[in-house]
Amino acid sequence: MAFAMVCMLAGCSSDISKTAVYRPEDGKALVALGVRTNLTEYGLALYRFDPATKKLIKSDPIFISADSLYNFHPNDLAYRVSEIKPGEYVIMSINFQIGPMNRILCLNSGTLAFDVQPGAVNYIGDISFDSDYRLSFAGRDENALRAYLSSNMPNVSLPIKSAPSRMTTYELGKSLFGTPACPGFY
């Protein structure tokens, strides 16, 4: 529930509306990500990324969340679909709650980078993570994503494209005290 409040205040993104219409000629981009986790509430921060400098571009971050408000069931594969601007992105952090404590896992030492193209559902793939701070790429199942879109977002007529992805690192920012900090959290 805490993430729902944070998301309302920070402008988190969740699944697009069932009635939203997305057609290839509109030039809009969607990003799809399958998530499997044992956490009951989590948030993922996606940031634009410059692979040449390994720096994050802090404009227009995308926050994807799931908690009890989104009918999320731990350990099940859940697809998250959000509108996103085309460009190069990384999964910057995982935010989750264990008991009364919020945790932020900054993924600067190893995360997934991916490219988002306009006019498509850019499928990053399926990832898993848990409270032991492990993130892993679990492949892609386009047929399962297609079935999910068909039953949950029938007005999306964009083709599904596998978003080219690779493991990468990025530079940490600096806190107000000059110490390394996860960007966006200082």
Asked whether residue 178 is assigned to any structural domain, the reply reads no
Look up residue 63 and give its amino acid: F
What pLDDT, on a 0 to 100 scale, did the predictor assign at position 93? 87
What pLDDT, on a 0 to 100 scale, did the predictor assign at position 133? 65
Asked whether residue 182 is assigned to any structural domain, the reply reads no
Confidence of residue 144 (pLDDT cuts 50, 70, 90): very high
Tokens of 107: 């993924």
Asked whether residue 180 is assigned to any structural domain, the reply reads no
Q: Is the pTM of this model over 0.85?
A: no
Asked whether residue 100 is assigned to any structural domain, the reply reads yes
Look up residue 40 and give its amino acid: T
d(CA 53, CA 41): 32
d(CA 1, CA 3): 5
Confidence of residue 61 (pLDDT cuts 50, 70, 90): confident
